[in-house]
A and B are shown apart, each in its own frame.
Chain A
Amino acid sequence: MLSPDKFLFVAVMMFAIGLIGLMLRRNLFVVYLSIELMLSSVNLILATFSRMHGEMDGGVVSLLMIAVIAAEAAIFLALIIYIYRITKSVDSQSITQLTHKRDEA
């Protein structure tokens, strides 16, 4: 017999792994995929609570979240291409256009 605990457990594990990836990696693609992972886990939590209470509202918010995930994917991937064109790398440490250069000061 399924219980909401199992779904919530999986969602929390997913969120934690996404957070670890966000802190651990410097590759911009992996950062993007980690953020998507965390968004998806929240989506799963919304659907689980909607099923738990037997009302559709959580499911509707989850549907809107899927649209937000698609919008975020478009913007983030366009941003990655833009950064790659300027710096020729996908390293998050290479975005230094706004930093104060010490040797010039």
Chain B
Amino acid sequence: MESIIFFILAFFLLSGAIMIVFSKESLYSAIGFLMVMIAMAGMFALLHHSFLFLAQILVGVGAVVVLSIMIILSINLKEENQPKQNITRKNILFTTLIIAPIAGLLLYAIAKAPFAFAPIAQHFGTIETMGKVLFTHWVLPFEIVSILLLGAMVGAIVLSRRRLHVES
């Protein structure tokens, strides 16, 4: 049963990823990204990370994807402002030739290594265990990430503010 759910999720994940890269309209790419994020949340649920599942749905789908779609819709790209690029078969072949050895090596290493899941602990992945680990071993990274978020917020406001003296 778990395997069937996994294969459905993997299908959605990879087809969403292909949709991101190869669709002509930016909005279709964003829809593919939505599929990827939801399937990622499903993967977290399959891995018994219930809190990560929740955070992925809230932040990944609820904030990041919605923000991307809103920006794409608000910019309102005209046809003549789109990059004039037709993806030829030669381009795809050449790029795949560059990427394939890296991916092949990684896949070979994964297939060779003797991986197996440990038997699951009773409270694995719940908010309680997650919070205990986060606020004992990972306090400093947590604080650094909060400063990073503050900096990103200020940077986004400064960058997207309308300026009076923009050279045209």
Contact = CB atoms under 8 A, between A and B. Distances in A.
Is chain B a partner of chain A in the same complex? yes
Interface of A: 1-10, 12-21, 23-27, 29-30, 32-34, 36-37, 40, 43-44, 47-48, 50-54, 56-57, 59-64, 66-75, 77-82, 84-86, 88-93
A57 B138 contact: yes
A27 B114 CA distance: 41
B115 A8 contact: yes
Given A25-B21, A30-B29, A47-B52, A4 B115 contact: yes
A59 B127 CA distance: 11
Chain A CB within 10 Å — which of B46, B98, B121 has the most? B46
29 contacts: A2-B2, A4-B116, A10-B14, A13-B103, A20-B96, A24-B95, A26-B85, A27-B82, A29-B68, A30-B26, A32-B68, A33-B30, A37-B33, A40-B36, A44-B44, A51-B118, A54-B119, A54-B124, A56-B125, A57-B138, A59-B51, A60-B130, A66-B55, A66-B59, A74-B153, A77-B156, A78-B157, A81-B71, A85-B162
Given A30-B20, A54-B121, A19 B99 contact: yes
Interface of B: 2-3, 6, 10, 13-14, 17-18, 20-21, 26, 29-30, 32-33, 36-37, 40, 43-44, 46-49, 51-52, 55-56, 59-60, 63-64, 67-68, 71-72, 75, 77, 81-83, 85, 87, 91-92, 95-96, 98-100, 102-103, 106-107, 110-111, 115-121, 124-125, 129-130, 133-134, 137-138, 141-142, 145, 148-149, 151-153, 155-157, 159-160, 162, 166-167
